[in-house]
Amino acid sequence: MGNFKHRIVYQIWPRSFKDSNGDGIGDLQGIIGKLDYIKSLGVDTIWLSPIYATGNKDYGYDIDDYYKINPEFGSMEDFDELLHKSKNMGIDIVMDLVANHTSDQHSWFQEALKSKDSPYRNYYIFKQGKRNKKRELLPPNNWLSAFGGSAWQKDPNSDEFYLTLFTPNQCDLNWKNEKVREGIYEIMRFWLDKGILGFRMDVINTIAKKDGLPPAGKGKKLDFPFEHIVSLPKSHEYVKEMHEKVLSQYEDVFTVGEGMVTSLEDLNAYTRPEEKKLQMMFQFDVHLIGCGPLGKFDFRKGYRWTPKELKDLIIHWQTGVEKGGGWLGNFLSNHDQPRQVSRFGHDGAFRRKSAKSLALLNFTLRGTPFLYQGEEIGMTNCHLKEEDWRDFEAINDYRVLQEMMHLPKPLARKVIQKMTRDHARTPMQWSEEKNAGFTTGTPWMKVNPNCSYINVEKEMKRENSILSFYKKLIEIRKSSEALSTGSFVPVDTENKKVLSYLRQKGEDTYLIVINLSGSLAEANLMDVSAYNFKPVLCTYDALPFMPSMKLQPYEGRLYKV
């Protein structure tokens, strides 16, 4: 199977993948029923978004009990069955590890709430509130939560507040406490002992917080405390300890770190093999293109970006990680992002073309490729009305946009429609049957009406489908050392629309040429014209290589010497 650099990962967000019992909610038996489909893509690894017991305030990222399966998804027997069946098919399972916070229903937190002297109090981050001139009790500092509003919740039984950097029921753990760390390590051992391959680690670069919890930014209004929580030296230390005490005790544990706003230096420092921390990490710069400094709902740049900006970001990360000796997990979609054709491509006339080119991009970059359920059939964003929103982030930020940013309702609605995570969470479109074949019951969330023509069944029958393009691409990637681990060499870097690069290892050289724009473009490849390139996989016609090539909107081509 090769090592982590050779893997191809399929991400499942279980709630919206496939419902097996008609309750409208995707589940483990649903996944088991689709293993043949997943296998047919050519992937060898599944990452499951959280399937643990949860109150669903953040759909599984708020964990009540890390040793129990969410009963909506099934039982531990179902999980064991999934693990064994997939293993027999040559597919390994990666679980989500949420170690920055537990839910407020977790037994540690319930104990912590009982009194200020509870031994569990120190498992979390409690702090005395501040009094203003009127003697009103206010949160200890101005930290803003990632989902809007103060990051502090009042303890009902004291004058203290507890830190919740995400939803108000996701309580940040105190990683300074050795017992917390041991508790997390034990959870990891439990699942590794069961035979899972490894973990995708949720916001792993924010587990440490600056001592004393100083005010964020200028300290006046609510502000996100990037400088006090992102990739502090202590976070690196904790991950190193986790490696030493857990990961290194097992053979070849797959690890991918997720971290908001990771810098290049940090990503390299987390993933260089000699650091003994993580195997790879995601970066989000590409996903935040066109957003203001406060993140995805910061609309102040109007979500405007140019192909050249996207291209420069990709080149920056590709060359920077290669130079720095780290390793990336590459993805264009996940459960937190709008659908990739809608965000980076075109979800109208050029949907098929742009879906293929984006796939070509993701699978030929240096790093381990991840694909998210539905992208292999070119699923798009969905028109969602307020009553269709299911995500706390959308619902809360809608309010915050109006109250804090003074945005009129219609504009606030537009911002949410543009960026909500709900787009990624509409049910997987299996067929044109009722509810896209996702459930026989009432789906927990709106099904995109375009399932009448965007669905797996149709894609399977279609010639030149997006789906068959993915399968070919995955096969090519798997059989090529150059595409997996070779170096990335950008060419024609000044080109405003076309991203071109070589992937090289030993005798093997590939050339990838992608028009990132929705208009005609021209690639200038004089610099590499000495190579004898032959087309391997193209999104339009397989045209011969030329030192100067005209490209159609979103056209992508893969050549090989």
- Spatial contact of 326 and 273, defined as CB atoms under 8 Å apart: no
| List 44, 58, 258, 391, catalytic entry | 258
Q: Which structure tokens are listed for 72?
A: 């909506």
Judged by beta carbon, residue 170 or residue 429, the one nearer ligand NOJ is 170
Among 72, 92, 202, 347, binds ligand NOJ (CB under 6 A): 202
- Spatial contact of 72 and 66, defined as CB atoms under 8 Å apart: no
In Å, the largest CA–CA distance within the chain is 78
Distances (CA, A) of 456 to 169, 225, 269, 285, 424: 37, 43, 40, 31, 16
Distance in Å, CB of 62 to ligand NOJ, minimum: 8
Among 203, 222, 288, 466, binds ligand NOJ (CB under 6 A): 203
Read off the DSSP letter of residue 447: P
Residues that bind Ca ion (rule: CB under 5 A) add up to a total of 5
Q: Is 397 in the site for Ca ion (CB under 5 A)?
A: no
CB neighbours of residue 427 within 10 Å: 29
Judged by beta carbon, residue 19 or residue 393, the one nearer Ca ion is 19
Distance in Å, CB of 410 to ligand NOJ, minimum: 27
Distance in Å, CB of 220 to ligand NOJ, minimum: 26
- Contacting ligand NOJ within 92-151 (CB under 6 A): 98
Residues that bind ligand NOJ (rule: CB under 6 A) add up to a total of 9
Distance in Å, CB of 28 to Ca ion, minimum: 9
| Residue 202 among the catalytic residues | yes
Among 61, 108, 370, 469, binds ligand NOJ (CB under 6 A): 61
- Contacting ligand NOJ within 503-532 (CB under 6 A): none
- Contacting ligand NOJ within 333-392 (CB under 6 A): 335-336
187 by Cβ neighbours in 10 Å (0-12 / 13-18 / 19+) ranks as buried
Distance in Å, CB of 27 to Ca ion, minimum: 4
| Residue 265 among the catalytic residues | no
CA 187 to chain CA mean position, Å: 22
Q: Is the dihedral of CA 130, 135, 138, 142 positive or negative?
A: negative
- What is the rounded distance in angstroms from the CA atom of residue 391 to the CA atom of residue 398? 11
Q: Which structure tokens are listed for 438?
A: 């996702």
Distances (CA, A) of 79 to 22, 30, 36, 68, 322: 19, 11, 17, 10, 37
202 binds, among ligand NOJ, Ca ion, none (CB under 5 to 8 A by kind): ligand NOJ
Judged by beta carbon, residue 54 or residue 465, the one nearer Ca ion is 54
H-helix or E-strand spanning residue 11: strand 9-12
**Residue range at the interface with Ca ion (CB under 5 A); choices 26-34, 191-199, 205-213, 508-516:** 26-34
- What is the rounded distance in angstroms from the CA atom of residue 299 to the CA atom of residue 310? 18
Judged by beta carbon, residue 23 or residue 481, the one nearer Ca ion is 23
Contacting positions for ligand NOJ (CB under 6 A)? 58, 61, 98, 166, 202-203, 258, 335-336
Positions marked active-site:
202, 258
